[in-house]
Chain A
Amino acid sequence: MAQIAKMVAQRLALGLLTLFVVSLIIFLAVELLPGDFTQAVLGQSATPETVAAFRKELGLDQPAYLRYFHWLGDIVQLDLGRSFANQRPITELLGPRIYNTLFLAAYAAVIAVPIALTFGILAALYRNSIFDRSINVAALTAISSPEFLAAYILILIFAVELGWLPAIARVNPDTTFFERLYILLLPAVTLTLVTMAHMMRMTRAAIINLMASPYIEMARLKGLRRGRIILRHALPNALAPIINVIAINLAYLIVGVVVVEVVFTYPGLGELLVDSVSKRDMPVVQISCLVFAVTYIALNLLADILSILSNPRLRHPR
Chain B
Amino acid sequence: MKYNELERLFLERRISRRQFLAGAAALGATTLAAGVIGKPAFAAPKKGGRLRVAIGHGSTTDSLDPATYENDHIISTNFTFNNHLGEVIETGEIGPELAENWETDDAKTWVINVRKGVEFHNGKEVTADDVIASFNHHRGETKSPARSLLEQVDSIEKDGKYRVVFKLNAANADFMYVASDYHIAIQPDTGDGTIDATAGIGAGPYVIEHWEPGERAFLKRHPNYWKSDRAHFDEVEILSIIDASARTNALITDEVDLIDRVDLKTVNLLKQRPNAKVEEVVGFRHYTFPMRTDTAPFDDNNIRMALKLSLDREQVLNSVLRGHGRIGNDNPISPSNRFHADLEQRTYDPEKAKWHLKKAGAEGLKVDLSAADAAFPGAVDAAVLYKEHAARAGITINVVREPDDGYWSDVWMNKPWCACYWSGRATADWMFTTAYAADADWNDTFWKHDRFNKLLKEARAELDQEKRAEMYAEMQSIVRDDGGVVVPMFANYVFATSKSVRHDGTLAGNWNLDGMKFAERWWFA
Which residues of A does B touch, CB under 8 Å? 33-35, 38-39, 41-47, 50, 53-54, 57, 83-88, 93, 96, 152, 155, 159-160, 163, 166-168, 170, 172, 262-265, 267, 271-272, 275-276, 278-279, 281, 284
Which residues of B does A touch, CB under 8 Å? 59-65, 68, 70, 141-143, 145, 147-148, 198, 210, 212-216, 218, 239-243, 245-246, 249-250, 252-253, 255, 405-406, 408-410, 412, 441-442
Give the contacting residue for A93; candidates B60, B147, B240, B409; CB below 8 A: B60
Give the contacting residue for A271; candidates B60, B143, B148; CB below 8 A: B60
> Are B249 and A160 touching (Cβ within 8 A)?
yes
* Chain B minimum-CB-distance residue to A84: B61
Please judge, given known A-B contacts A47-B441, A54-B143, A267-B215, whether A272 and B60 are in contact too, CB under 8 Å: yes
> Are B198 and A87 touching (Cβ within 8 A)?
yes
Tell me the complex Cα distance, A118–B426, Å: 64
> Are B246 and A281 touching (Cβ within 8 A)?
no
Please judge, given known A-B contacts A93-B60, A160-B253, A278-B405, whether A34 and B239 are in contact too, CB under 8 Å: no
CB neighbours of A46 from chain B (8 A):
408-409
> Are B410 and A53 touching (Cβ within 8 A)?
no
Min CB distance, A32 to chain B, in Å?
Answer: 12
Please judge, given known A-B contacts A47-B148, A54-B143, A265-B241, whether A86 and B63 are in contact too, CB under 8 Å: yes
* Chain B minimum-CB-distance residue to A37: B61
CB neighbours of A50 from chain B (8 A):
143, 145, 147
Q: Describe B's contact surface by its main secondary structure.
A: loop
Tell me the complex Cα distance, A85–B213, Å: 10
CB neighbours of A276 from chain B (8 A):
60-61
Give the contacting residue for A53; candidates B141, B148, B246, B406; CB below 8 A: B141
* Chain B minimum-CB-distance residue to A48: B441
Tell me the complex Cα distance, A170–B249, Å: 13
Min CB distance, B402 to chain A, in Å?
Answer: 11
> Are B249 and A39 touching (Cβ within 8 A)?
no
> Are B406 and A35 touching (Cβ within 8 A)?
yes
Tell me the complex Cα distance, A42–B252, Å: 35
> Are B60 and A168 touching (Cβ within 8 A)?
no
CB neighbours of B61 from chain A (8 A):
41, 83-86, 275-276, 279, 281, 284
Please judge, given known A-B contacts A34-B406, A44-B408, A86-B61, whether A168 and B246 are in contact too, CB under 8 Å: yes
> Are B409 and A170 touching (Cβ within 8 A)?
no
Min CB distance, B465 to chain A, in Å?
Answer: 30
CB neighbours of B143 from chain A (8 A):
38, 41-42, 50, 53-54, 57
Q: Could you list 9 A-B pairs, sorted by A, with CB under 8 Å?
A: A34-B406, A39-B409, A57-B143, A155-B249, A159-B253, A160-B252, A262-B243, A265-B239, A275-B61
